[in-house]
Structure 1
């Protein structure tokens, strides 16, 4: 019996570690779901005026209501949507009633509409402040001359359109542009893979125990022959 003690302990300890990792991922899942719920509550909260002092951390996703004018000019950010394909986010300058100039992400337009005339003029906007993190190490440099942007680089866009480095992502624009579909901020782009990780660790624990049992049974049969 003692000859099986070492592999049995090895199997139980290994499985225990794997189960512990799975339980830790379940705790992370609960924490992440709480964070996402808090963000969703913030996104759908009461709209406020544009902040005078900008604090990206405290004001991220803050709902805002704007009245003013969409000015001529539009930057195109290349994106892709499932079941639709390539298209562009349209970012235009917006002048508020009190004279502030900000960036307005009006939403998505299909590739065939990329050169269409954009509606400008008086508008009411309901949206959210956002500081997107679109750029990764593999993101190409923006083709400013060709008006093809690969990320919503707020600083560079503000310089190109002569606005404050402040982006409002529209949830609704009234009156709207029929060729542009608002793409409001939400939590769908925030990864939450902790459940898959937990399942992986628990599955590995089961496999570990099966392999341990198989090894012990095999050793026992070998010892009997």
Structure 2
């Protein structure tokens, strides 16, 4: 009997560790769902005035309602959408009725409409402040001269379009441009793979126990012969 004790303990301890990792991922899932719910509530909250002092941590997703005008000029951010293909986010300068110049992410247009004439002038905007994290280690540098942007680098965009380094992502623009589809802020782009990780750890625990049982059965048969 003692010859089975070591593999049995090894199997149970290993499975216990894997189950523990799965339970930890379920706890992380519960935490992430709470974070996403808070973000969704923040996005849908009542509009607030544009901040004077900028604090990305506190003001991220802050809803705003603006009255002013869309000015000529734009930065085209290269993006790709499922079932549609390549296109551009159009970021334009926007002057509020209070005289502030900010960046306005108007939304998506297809590659065919890259050089189309944009609607400018008076416009009411509902949207959210955001500081997008578009850049990673493989993102190319923006081609400012060629107006091809690979990331919404707010400081660089503000310098190019001569605005404050403050970006509003439009949820609704009235009147809108029929060739631009708003891409409002939401939580769909925030990774939430904790359930998948949990199922992976639980599956490994089952496989670990199965292999342990298989080994013990083989050991027993070897001992009988």
Instruction: Decide: shared fold, TM above 0.5.
Output: yes
Residue equivalent to 2:67 = 67
Gaps spanning 5+ residues in structure 2: where? Answer: none
Give SS of 2:94's match.
strand
TM-score (norm 1): 0.99
SS at match of 1:222: helix
Aligned to 2:135: 135
CA distance in 1, matches of 2:83, 2:36: 26
Residue 174 (str. 1) matches residue 174 (str. 2): yes
Does residue 120 of structure 1 match 2:113? no
Q: Distance in 2 between matches of 1:198 and 1:108?
A: 36
SS at match of 1:88: strand
- Structure-1 separation of matches of 2:48 and 2:26: 36
Structure 1 residue 54: Cα displacement = 1.1
Q: CA deviation at 1:49?
A: 1.4
1:20-31 equivalences under 5 Å are 20-31=20-31
Alignment of 1:44-193 (within 5 A): 44-193=44-193
For residue 27 of structure 1, report the CA deviation from its aligned partner: 0.2
**Aligned-pair distance for 1:52?**
1.2
* 1:19 paired to 2:19: yes
Q: What is the root-mean-square deviation in Å for CA atoms of aligned residues?
A: 0.4
* Alpha-carbon distance in 2 for matches of 1:154, 1:184: 17
Partner SS state of residue 126, structure 2? strand
Matched residues in 1 for 2:175 and 2:198: separation? 47
SS of structure 1 residue aligned to 2:164: coil
Moved over 3 A (4+): none
Aligned residue pairs, count: 225
Q: Any unmatched runs of 5+ in structure 1?
A: none
Taking the aligned partners of 1:146 and 1:27, their CA distance within structure 2 comes to 47
SS at 1:30 equivalent: helix
> TM-score, normalised to structure 2's length?
0.99
Question: Structure 1 residue 40: deviation in Å?
Answer: 0.3
Does the residue aligned with 1:133 lie in a helix, a strand or coil? coil
The alignment partner of 1:34 has SS state of helix
Q: Secondary structure at 2:35's aligned position in 1?
A: helix
Distance 1:143 1:162 in 2: 17
Secondary structure of the 1:209 match is helix
